[in-house]
Amino acid sequence: MPIPVRQPAGRGGRRARGHIYVADNGDNRVQEFAYGGKFLQTISGDFNYPVGVTTDSAGGIYMTIQGLYSVREYSASGAFVRAWGSPGGVPGELNSPAVVAVDGAGDVHVADCENNRIQKFTSGGSLVGVSGTLGSGLGQFNCLANVAVDGSGSIYVTYYNNDRVQEFTTAVGFIRASGRPGTSVGYFEHSPGVAVDRFGNVFVADTGDNRFQQFASDGGLQTGAGASSRLAPVSSGFRWAWQLSPSTTLRLGRCRVAAHRSSV
């Protein structure tokens, strides 16, 4: 039976067998689907606008509940494990938490949107570090959109108002940035989605240009207009390609794209 979804928001994490998770914030629930679209389970509770959802390597499910200023963890079977977070602006507090990502060590990275920063927590909710401040310069954010982490712990961040991707590490802070407004390869027009596959390839949803762009893994993101490691942008009839999630079950370079008003 088809399961209706209203206002799907979160980029779903996936376990090794390719399950997809959708933050159905219009219905205040998270839904899990098998690869191919078969409905598996719904996770719900005293939610108030779930936005981000992802999984760790063991299948644990993490989600951000924007209206409750919190992060919640559930088991693979949907049983509640723990929650943390409170409203505010000091480190460890949250204001409009959005996308959440889990790295290979099990640490949880949260896009703390209204505070214009990324916060890193242990899986138990203890604060590890903070990256970013409000602004338009390098290492700064203005309206966070998405966060992804690679196998080495590097953090990739997109945000709505600057048409670029920035790379951070918790230990070093800002590393490099790529992109500027435009339609050429390596340029973006509104780029809310970013994802990294297990090979280190970086995918960016270039929404305004109705495409996604893939960056090669060697050297990470290139700065300025350098194009030595860039691959060709991909467009397949998208309209407002919004979220990306690289496949863990398909071959190198494949990803799944969520698009508003998609024609494919």
Q: Is residue 27 exposed (0-12), middle (13-18) or buried (19+ Cβ within 10 Å)?
A: middle
Q: Is the pLDDT of residue 2 over 70?
A: no
| Residue labelled with tokens 């090669």 | 216
* 17 pLDDT tier (thresholds 50, 70, 90): low
Beta partners for 91?
none
Question: What pLDDT does residue 77 have?
Answer: 92
Question: pTM here?
Answer: 0.78
Task: Give the model confidence (pLDDT) of 142-181 as tens digits.
Answer: 877 788 888 778 888 887 666 778 888 766 677 777 767 7
Q: Are strands 202-206 and 211-215 parallel, antiparallel or unpaired?
A: antiparallel
Q: Hey, what domains does the chain have and what are their CATH numbers?
A: 1-131 (2.120.10.30), 144-264 (2.120.10.30)
The Cα 180–Cα 63 span in angstroms is 31
* 221 pLDDT tier (thresholds 50, 70, 90): very low
Indicate the residue type of 122.
T
DSSP assignment, residue 91? T
The Cα 120–Cα 100 span in angstroms is 10
